[in-house]
């Protein structure tokens, strides 16, 4: 199979890839399939042998891929628009706290997204799965379809997180799915996706396509399909050095105030961990089915497949029950693998990359210039085996505080509260913070730094090169100069946008 290095849509004109069909030859822009899982952390992803074979061995892995805010709706909004949360204004999942779909809709953020950009460039666009938390509350109707989507298939009622007994807005008509084996949510999304690919390549041979595919797993309750239920008996969450951490005396009060996890809590963590791994197998099947369909339609060699997650997930680290919403590595570092034409197979990228980078990446692949409001950077050079210079040396993360309880889920259970997510409860979670990840050798230190400044006046600072489990808070022993430079860098980033933000990311304070 020939792999060609291509940088703009014009480069595709008149080309045939080896083994391609006439339909591919007529398409002058690459197809893009984005698969975004829910709450998938690096460790669970790495344990799925199928995903490693289908994606990691066939594409480029971004080991330092982060979300800048570890929560579903803010992260998904950032992915759609390529903006940090302080520029979208979406920090939470719920309209009552200024977040969720309702706030995205009210602010008009959907009027300019990767979907509208690509649709305007001639792409046929399709969305399949979970949209923004709270959808369609606040929209004109329960069958509202956001701008930019030619094909729309997204749950609008019932209990889609359970994978059964849910309603779907299927191109403007609400369709009910029940409790039978064929109603399992991930499998339904997979069938709709492959049908879209077949229909597009057959009926619209001159159109490239963009699909955004968002299964609900492994978000809790992480229901596996019957074929995978129980295949990992006794699987346990990793007992890392941070698991049920013994000494938290150097941590901020919201951690210090937590008792060690009980055996019952640990048993529940392990039970959810087992279900997370089992439910993810259905996503492996979705990826396999997608690749098989692309190959059968003759377009695999002209399609980028992008696999990632909306946020990470902790299970037991630092005495925390299962959840997200912290500045710790488990919650912010997520999988990202990209395979496609010209992408080096088996390659690894260790530069800082973010969810805000996906939208400008897709824009460049399509031959577009993204709007000036975009904060992210295109990953296309990495897909050609190149490391762009300059590149970000640090990035901001931010959090709106512990009061993110979902209050809009009392009727249609569109976003159930994570039962064990202490960070999403009205009390006991992480306070408001701004944080910074910095590359080694950027602030006079040899290690990679994770810095967090809470609105309580407390701080955390970890050298991730020597303390990857974030056990020893080094803020107390840090020099005044280092503290000042960290705060200055955060200040330069937290109100910046667009090119000014990108400039600040590569400009350490002196």
DSSP 8-class letter at 258 = P
296 or 94, which is more confident: 296
Asked if residue 400 belongs to a domain, the reply is no
Asked whether the predicted pLDDT for residue 6 surpasses 90, the reply is no
Residue 17 confidence (pLDDT): 29
- The pLDDT value given to residue 31: 98
Q: How many CA atoms lie within 13 A of 390 on its CB side?
A: 10
Confidence of residue 402 (pLDDT cuts 50, 70, 90): confident
Strand 459-463 relative to strand 303-309, pairing: unpaired
Query: Looking at residue 344, what is its pLDDT?
Result: 98
Give the pLDDT band (50/70/90) at residue 141. very high
Helix (H) or strand (E) holding 475: none
Predicted confidence (pLDDT) at residue 1 exceeds the cutoff of 60:
no
| Eight-class DSSP state of 333 | B
Inform me whether the pLDDT recorded for 223 exceeds 90.
Answer: yes
Q: What average pLDDT score do residues 388-416 get? A: 74
Q: Is residue 422 part of a domain?
A: no
With a cut of 60, say whether residue 425 has pLDDT above it: no
Q: Is residue 393 in some structural domain?
A: no
3-state secondary structure at position 452: strand
Confidence band (pLDDT; 50, 70, 90) for 413? very low
Instruction: Give the ranges where 342-406 is alpha helix by DSSP (H).
Output: 358-365, 380-383
| 126 falls within a domain | yes
Model pLDDT, residue 14: 26
- Per the CB < 8 A criterion, the answer to whether 63 and 55 are in contact is no
Q: Count up the domains in the chain and report the number.
A: 1
pLDDT of residue 94: 87
**pLDDT at 148 > cutoff 90:** yes
Element (H, E) at 33: strand 31-37
pLDDT band (50, 70, 90) for residue 27:
low
Q: Is residue 392 part of a domain?
A: no
Query: Band of the pLDDT at 499, cuts 50, 70, 90?
Result: very high
Residue 352 domain flag: yes
In a domain, 173, yes or no: yes
pLDDT bracket for residue 96 (50, 70, 90): confident
pLDDT tens-digit map of 168-183: 999 999 999 999 999 9
The per-residue b/e assignment along 407-423, b for 16 or more CB within 10 angstroms, e otherwise, is ebbeebbbbebbebbbb
| CB contact set of 181 (below 8 Å; sequence gap of 6+) | 225, 226
Mean pLDDT of 201-205: 96
pLDDT of residue 26: 42
Q: What is the pLDDT of residue 428?
A: 78
Q: What is the pLDDT of residue 459?
A: 98
pLDDT at 16 over 90: no
Average pLDDT over residues 283-293: 98
Coil vs helix vs strand at 167: strand
- In the residue annotation, 72 being an active-site residue is answered as yes
Q: How many CB atoms lie within 10 A of CB 83?
A: 25
CATH number at residue 244: 3.40.720.10
Over 90: is that where the pLDDT of 427 sits? Answer: no
Structure confidence at residue 207 as a pLDDT band (50, 70, 90): very high
Residue (of 143, 154, 146, 151) closest to 126 by Cα position: 151
Q: What is the mean pLDDT of the chain?
A: 91
- 218 SS3 class: coil
- pLDDT value at position 158? 95
| Edge-first strand listing for the sheet containing 166-170 | 173-177, 166-170, 151-158, 124-129, 209-214, 31-37, 303-309, 336-339, 60-62, 347-349
Give the residue ranges of DSSP H helices in 48-98: 49-51, 72-81, 85-88
* Active-site residue, selected from the candidate residues 44, 72, 115, 139: 72
267: Cβ–Cβ under 8 A, 6 or more apart, which residues? none
**For residue 221, what pLDDT is reported?**
95
Q: Write down the pLDDT at residue 406.
A: 56
Residue 18 lies in a domain: no
What's the CA gap between 228 and 221, in Å, rounded? Answer: 15
Q: Can you tell me the mean pLDDT for 46-63?
A: 98
Quick one: pLDDT at residue 417?
63
Q: Which domain holds residue 211?
A: 26-384
């Amino acid at each position: 199979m020939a792999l060609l290095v291509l940088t703009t849509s014009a480069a595709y004109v008149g080309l045939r890839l080896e083994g391609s069909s006439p339909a591919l030859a007529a398409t002058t822009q690459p197809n893009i399939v984005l698969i975004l899982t829910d709450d998938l952390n690096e460790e669970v992803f790495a344990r799925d042998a199928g995903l490693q074979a289908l994606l990691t061995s066939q594409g480029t892995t971004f080991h330092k891929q982060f979300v800048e805010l570890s929560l579903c709706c803010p992260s998904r909004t950032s992915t759609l628009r390529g903006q940090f949360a302080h520029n979208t204004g979406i920090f939470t999942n719920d309209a009552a706290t200024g977040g969720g779909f309702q706030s995205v809709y009210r602010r008009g953020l959907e009027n300019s997204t990767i979907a509208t950009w690509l649709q305007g460039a001639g792409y046929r666009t399709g969305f399949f799965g979970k949209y923004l938390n709270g959808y369609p509350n606040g929209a004109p109707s329960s069958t509202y379809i956001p701008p930019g989507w030619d094909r729309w298939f997204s749950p609008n009622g019932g209990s889609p997180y359970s994978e059964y007994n849910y309603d779907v807005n299927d191109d403007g008509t609400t369709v009910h799915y029940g409790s039978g084996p064929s109603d399992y949510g991930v499998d339904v999304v997979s069938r709709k996706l492959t049908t879209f690919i077949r229909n597009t390549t057959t009926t619209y041979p001159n159109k490239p396509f963009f699909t955004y595919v968002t299964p609900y797993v492994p978000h809790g309750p992480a229901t596996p399909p019957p074929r995978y239920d129980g295949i990992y008996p006794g699987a346990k969450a990793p007992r890392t050095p941070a698991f049920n951490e013994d000494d938290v005396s150097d941590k901020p009060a919201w951690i210090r105030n937590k008792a060690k996890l009980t055996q019952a809590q640990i048993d529940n963590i392990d039970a959810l961990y087992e279900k997370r791994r089992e439910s993810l197998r259905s996503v492996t099947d979705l990826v396999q089915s997608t690749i098989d369909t692309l190959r059968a339609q003759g377009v695999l060699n002209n399609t980028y497949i992008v696999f990632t997650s909306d946020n990470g997930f902790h299970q037991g680290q630092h005495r925390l029950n299962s959840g997200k919403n912290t500045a710790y590595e488990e919650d912010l570092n997520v999988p990202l693998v990209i395979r496609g034409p010209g992408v080096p197979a088996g390659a690894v990228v260790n530069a800082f990359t973010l969810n805000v980078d996906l939208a400008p990446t897709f824009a460049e692949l399509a031959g577009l210039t993204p709007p000036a409001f975009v904060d992210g950077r295109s990953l296309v050079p990495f897909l050609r085996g190149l490391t762009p210079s300059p590149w970000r040396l640090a990035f901001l993360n931010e959090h709106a505080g512990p009061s993110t309880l979902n209050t809009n889920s009392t009727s249609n259970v569109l976003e159930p509260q994570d039962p064990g997510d202490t960070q999403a409860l009205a009390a006991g979670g992480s306070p408001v913070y701004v944080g910074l990840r910095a590359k080694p050798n950027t602030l006079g230190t040899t290690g990679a730094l994770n810095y967090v400044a809470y609105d309580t006046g407390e701080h955390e600072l970890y050298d991730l090169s020597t303390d990857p489990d974030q056990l020893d808070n080094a803020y107390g022993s840090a020099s005044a100069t280092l503290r000042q430079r960290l705060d200055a860098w955060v200040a330069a980033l937290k109100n910046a946008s667009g090119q000014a933000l990108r400039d600040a990311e590569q400009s350490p304070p002196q």
